[in-house]
Structure 1
Amino acid sequence: MDGVIYLDYNATTPLEPEVVESIQDALKSAWGNPSSSHHAGKSAKALIDQARENVARMLGAKSSDIVFTSGGTEADNMILQTAVEYFHKVCTKSRTPSRDHAKPLPHIISSHMEHPAVNVMLQHLQDTSQAEISYVPLCKVTGRLEVKDVLAAIRSNTIMVTVMLANNETGIIQPVKEINDAIKALTRHPGETERIFVHTDAAQAIGKIPVDVHELGVDYLTVVGHKVRLVFARLLYLTENTGMIAGLGKACELVTKNLAMYQQQMEECRDYLETKLHETFPGQLHFNGKLPGSTRLPNTCNVSILGDKLQGHNVLARCQRLQASVGAACHAQNRPSSILLATGIPESIARNALRLSLGRSTTKADVDIVIEDLHQAVLALNNS
């Protein structure tokens, strides 16, 4: 849209021209069923295999580790269900219930900052008595999960820990590697689950920071195509969508080639945005993701402009050119973010939050337009 500055890249991203071209080419020339043995099927299968290689290379994984699903929600749900099924098939053999003890349930550890693709499924597993769930609180100093708090939540029947790699609202990067290393170092005793799986939803991190599954050490990692953005896993099955897989493969190829440039460009524009915000609204800002001891995604600025009339949804409604959000698109847009509240942000400040998430093509000229738009919106609200 002409004149519009889009700063909601953490919700979804426009497609790169190369990605669009890859999808179109696949739909034209690789329309066969990739499971078929004839030429049309083999052409589609070859394209999928190449895309899988591209994804694996981006993640530092083996191509055989990559499984494509219909989306991030399906991927997260399948992984959680896989953990539950594994517990009942393998871990309960030595736990035969007696007349005095009910059938043991698997225990999963998570947090309330997770995407609904995880938390809604966890709530379902708990409500239907399929699993026990523990939610580790966020540290109010760092805004992230701390390793010691995750370890304190582990029980004898713990089967999985699921922690997102980077939060989509604050941009705070979680200590997933440290959590995984600490869990893998635990000594499990007789009567306990022998292994605790670790899953991370890395949807917000891909294309912004380096992500290597072997460095993280996790058992499962999920990525979402519309943000570049699949699943790193070992136990899942699927039906393949050749066109979309081709587009994802091309997107991952671009990330592998250009990540350092993407990261630097986004961070420079994000820092410029925050500098201009300080200049325009001196003494009137609270940056909700800049917390001691934590690092952020290079593209994410979560900021509150302080004032009784300056609730985030009111400010955005007055903006003429800025397209952004007050938080995750999957949550109510006129309520204070539960994630900000969980990090200790007062409700009066959380209500004013704006999530400004930049993309690879965002420029400093775009930022100047956004700053002026916000300035005019705030003036109009304060004078109303």
Structure 2
Amino acid sequence: MSRSGPRSRSIRRPLVRPLVRAALLTTVGMLALSGCGGDEAGPRLELSAALPDTPADGTVLRVGDPATQVALETSGLIDELDVEVEWANITGGPKTLEAFRADAIDIGSVADIPPLFAHWTGTDVRIVAARETVEPETHPTYALGVAPGVEVRTIEDLKGKKIAYSPGQAQGALVLNVLREAGLTQDDVEFVEMQSVDDAFSVALASKQVDVAPLGQTLVKTYLAKYEVDGATAIDPGVRDDAWTLYTPTTVLEDADKAAAIKEYVGVWAQAQQWISDHPDEFAEAYYVDHEGLSPEDAAYVVDALGEFTVPTSWDDFIARHQETVDTLVEAQDQEPLDVATLYDRRYEKAIAAAVEGS
């Protein structure tokens, strides 16, 4: 078995690009296969062909998913991987998409919005795995952070407020869904467009550039720890926000060796998500304390807030909810209509089901 040790790349902050309407998906047979990361490309694989079981020796899969890396290493599940993995310390939609465009990684871990904007801005991608929360109603992924001195106790109180808005990220869709749930429209609030990278939203709240911003649970605790004394608060968004995906450029899936490597990876990835749910204290220590630098108390808060994960072995319901999100974005942002099922490579649905049922 060959396997690389953990590696990290320094990827520059993404450039701000105007949104453009998506072109129609290019016919599979017209796509040109390019080499990945300087490696010699494997045999060409049609997107409709069965997935190979085994990649060629020396195939390297470049993965941007530090949380799963830590889970695999801590649990020992990494020993189940025969494929060589080169890890990149890349998270979030903008950084992952830029890494795809720079041919720096093969697969990324993001919420459900980045694959849509990759498609709408001209990068052909496919979703190869999905994850959701066991109890999404009581374990939201995000909270709505409220700036010091601003009174927002319910989502209806968002009327007239300045809200941080990231159109190409899950946080942007969350804001739109929250407004709909509250019976409000975009005309009832003021959007302040910015990317939710690093702690940009926390800084914007603290400096009162915005009144409200969606914050991941990792940031909620640190934001309140710093600014609650000044009057900062946070509220539950009141809408489901737990969709998570693995996605990859279509050109990667047209490389038979890379496609086979991903087949193996998603099976072990699914087991890692279950391990995270079954061992929250160990994961909190290994990832949130040792990797992310949170205190043990804050790490425990985050894993408790996020709850348990599950990896569906049938994607029907997940895709249906994703389509509802697409329709919201099409209406609110004037995006090109999209049948989101075309972005899912359901060959991997079967591979994940086999891995989960056999574990």
Smaller-chain TM-score range?
A: under 0.3
Q: Which has the larger radius of gyration?
A: 1
Report which structure shows greater RCO (CA 8 Å, sep ≥6): 2
TM-score by length of 1: 0.24
